Structure 1
Amino acid sequence: MKRSASPVILLRASEHLSGSPVSTLTPTSESSHTTLRRSKRIKVESGPSEPRDDARSLLVKFEGLEETTLQVAVDAPATGTSKRKPATRVKREGTTSPKKQKPIKQALETPHPTPARWSEAYNAIKEMRSRIVAPVDTMGCNRAQLEETIPQNQRFATLISLMLSSQTKDEVTFAAVGKLREAVGGSLSVDALVRADDSVISDAICKVAFWRRKTQYIKQAAQRLCDDFDSDVPKTVDELCSLPGVGPKMAFLCLQDAWKLNVGIGVDVHVHRITNRLGWHKPPTKNPEETRLNLQSWLPLELHPEINALLVGFGQTICLPVGPRCDTCKLNDGLCPSARKGTTTRVKTGKAVVAAARKAGPEVEIAIETETVDSVRDPSSPLSDA
């Protein structure tokens, strides 16, 4: 048996009830201008509106139908002519659901091959770092908890320090954490940050990068911890990354420093840059997350907690982003494919010394003072990060 076509409905606004909330539903033939894709129960509402081109505006709501195209022909009250209105898309309200956070990827499906001679390079970096005190060693994010006495506040101070450290030097972050602690009463706690005004937080952290945005993140994160985590730092990567302003690098480092949980490697720009310079990624990775997954697939688990501080200090003192000090690095004998040969020379401009000496005729000799960086400085003094 052939299924009969759905009834066709023509919606006409009553010409006698101007501004009336009632419109008539009139069945008509298939040749009419208004068609529905499928039969559904509908509500038609007409509210007061200004007439435009002898047509009256109609608000149509469909029950049980997410999206339907409806063409409406409205008769003009005087002339009797009709005009076709453009197709109207109607969407049900309240159907959009909040996006769920994607879980943080923990491992590669196919592990990255172990780089050749990686352990030699790693041990050479450890030996160099043992003689150099870098900013991360004295002012890193793990130092913030040392000023707190309550374990719960120690964990929260570590999280705050990590949130402030994004694109900010360790020295600036360390000072901002100290100022924020004083501004909220001498101790970094969730309750203290919830009660603090935005202006108090902003004044304390105004030296860090993106301090306005970080002020919002800190306030929102503190409120979330208060409401959902009993005013304590959560113990999983996904829960930490659900907090505003917290990414995977911060989450892994926070779990290592706050909870002593070794579940992954915290990869920042230093780790990302140095491991690519060493040729440990084939092909080179494009972002820190790719670097993390590669490293976690082959680096021994016991080295995961220490590699971040090791390479960050190495990147702050020797393997600089611009002008790396390859001549002082022990990896330039074949362990680092990116090593630059020769002596790095820095010329200080504006310090020309002119000495005039007269022999047979007038002669001017110009000497330029230069500073060469061709030897390791005194191990007792940290190298400059500039």
Structure 2
Amino acid sequence: MSAARPRPAALRRLRSAGASGGRDGGSGYGTGDRGSQLQGTPGIPRQSRRRKSLAIAYEAGQGDGAEPRRARWEPPNWREQLERIRVMRRSRDAPVDEMGVQKCYDSSAPPQVMRYQVLLALMLSSQTKDQVTSAAMLRLRRRGLTVDSVLQMDDETLGQIIYPVGFWRNKVKYIKQTTAILKQKYGGDIPSTVEELVQLPGVGPKMAHLAMHIAWDSVAGIAVDTHVHRISNRLQWVKKETKYPEETRVALEEWLPRDLWKEINWLLVGFGQQTCLPVNPRCSQCLNQDICPAAKRL
């Protein structure tokens, strides 16, 4: 015997269920599929097309309020420029290499004392040549350079020891104030964050980031001094010209890969001391002469 035909009322109910599944686009998927198998109703393919369209829009980051991703800006030729600077710095014979802050502390001292000496060297180095900073640190270390020894030293004696570093009178005041804070608040150690370091008298952002690099072996940001600031603008490693080192730091950190943040200070400082000088830069000796935006202007 042949199978009984569906009654007209039952068929109408099946069609009605399939059509409603196509309209709400949600829980009617199963019922809608059965309806299409039975009758091929036109509502079901429209539902399927609409779901596909939504999926494509979502994957593209549109339709949900999101904006398409924009490519990160980076300066042209920067990788080649950086590699050529590495070549020029291979000899490691710039003043920063031989007498920089990383050479001024006693590496055999207890870690807490070593970190204090790093911070003190950074404070002395502001507006001062590496040779002068290194000599001042050597004189301090011969007297036993610790938090307690500096606190016991009178201002006149401290001034005589660190002279002729730049702004030595102000530095005497800042060193004594900062050392007292380290003793009272940090148990004789130095802070381990940039935010706390820049709160110390006489400590700026560049010193704080270098202290994190050297004393704590932590990369919290790029240390930008006058050399890094000058060269970054000459090479146009910033979107637009910056006036201050802190502006340059922010601009560089927006695009420079993080694994280069620690290296860039050492590279550019030595390069600025030997080749890319503040006045009368030695462009004829620079490997970047043909791809340096500033070469034709200097």
Common topology (TM > 0.5) = yes
Q: Offset at 1:341?
A: 8.6
Could you tell me how far apart the structure 1 residues matched to 2:74 and 2:270 are?
24
Distance 1:249 1:145, change over 3 A: same
Question: What is the CA deviation profile of residues 264-292 of structure 1, one whole-angstrom value per residue up to 9, with x for unaligned ones?
Answer: 01000000000100011121011001100
Aligned twin of 1:272: 229
Task: Note if 1:281 corresponds to 2:248.
Answer: no
Matches within 5 A, 1:149-160: 149-160=109-120
Task: Note if 1:140 corresponds to 2:76.
Answer: no
Aligned twin of 1:55: none
Could you tell me how far apart the structure 1 residues matched to 2:130 and 2:99 are?
6
Query: With CA pairs under 8 Å and 6+ residues apart, which has the higher RCO, 1 or 2?
Result: 2
Could you tell me how far apart the structure 1 residues matched to 2:215 and 2:187 are?
16
Could you tell me how far apart the structure 2 residues matched to 1:289 and 1:341 are?
25
Which residue identity is paired with 1:142? Q
Gaps of 5+ in 2: 1-69
Residue of 263, 267, 273 corresponding to 1:306 = 263
Q: Secondary structure at the match of 1:293?
A: helix
Cα pair 1:277 1:338 within 8 Å, conserved: yes
Aligned twin of 1:247: 204
Cα pair 1:327 1:340 within 8 Å, conserved: no
Residue of 193, 197, 208 corresponding to 1:236 = 193
Cα pair 1:155 1:233 within 8 Å, conserved: yes
Which residue identity is paired with 1:152? Q
Structure (1 or 2) with the greater strand fraction:
1
Q: Secondary structure at the match of 2:158?
A: helix
Aligned twin of 1:361: none
Aligned twin of 1:337: 293
Could you tell me how far apart the structure 1 residues matched to 2:111 and 2:174 are?
22
Which residue identity is paired with 1:224? I
Residue of 275, 281, 288 corresponding to 1:324 = 281
Aligned twin of 1:130: 90
Which residue identity is paired with 2:261? H
Which residue identity is paired with 2:293? P
Residue of 113, 130, 141 corresponding to 1:170 = 130
Aligned twin of 2:77: 117
Could you tell me how far apart the structure 2 residues matched to 1:134 and 1:112 are?
34
Q: Secondary structure at the match of 2:288?
A: coil
Cα pair 1:111 1:294 within 8 Å, conserved: no
Q: Offset at 1:132?
A: 4.9
Q: Secondary structure at the match of 2:243?
A: coil
Task: Give the aligned length.
Answer: 229
Q: Offset at 1:125?
A: 0.2
Could you tell me how far apart the structure 1 residues matched to 2:254 and 2:297 are?
32
Cα pair 1:111 1:297 within 8 Å, conserved: no
Q: Secondary structure at the match of 2:105?
A: helix
Q: Offset at 1:340?
A: 4.2
Cα pair 1:193 1:222 within 8 Å, conserved: yes
* Identity, % of aligned positions: 49
Could you tell me how far apart the structure 1 residues matched to 2:107 and 2:136 are?
13
Cα pair 2:86 2:267 within 8 Å, conserved: yes
Distance 1:192 1:263, change over 3 A: same
Could you tell me how far apart the structure 2 residues matched to 1:133 and 1:153 are?
28
Which residue identity is paired with 2:120? I
Q: Offset at 1:159?
A: 0.3
Could you tell me how far apart the structure 2 residues matched to 1:130 and 1:303 are?
17
Cα pair 1:235 1:259 within 8 Å, conserved: yes
Runs of 4+ in 1 over 4 A off after TM superposition: none
Q: Offset at 1:141?
A: 0.7
Q: Offset at 1:112?
A: 7.2
Q: Offset at 1:145?
A: 2.2
Q: Secondary structure at the match of 1:306?
A: helix
Cα pair 1:141 1:161 within 8 Å, conserved: yes
Q: Using structure 1 for the length normalisation, give the TM-score.
A: 0.57
Aligned twin of 1:315: 272
Could you tell me how far apart the structure 2 residues matched to 1:135 and 1:146 are?
19
Distance 1:139 1:111, change over 3 A: farther
Aligned twin of 2:252: 295
Q: Secondary structure at the match of 1:164?
A: helix
When the two chains are superposed, the root-mean-square deviation of aligned CA atoms in Å is 1.7
Distance 1:212 1:225, change over 3 A: same
Q: Offset at 1:111?
A: 10
Gaps of 5+ in 1: 1-109, 343-386
Cα pair 2:95 2:273 within 8 Å, conserved: yes
Q: Using structure 2 for the length normalisation, give the TM-score.
A: 0.74
Q: Secondary structure at the match of 1:145?
A: coil
Aligned twin of 1:68: none
Structure (1 or 2) with the greater helix fraction:
2
Which residue identity is paired with 2:165? V
Matches within 5 A, 1:346-365: none
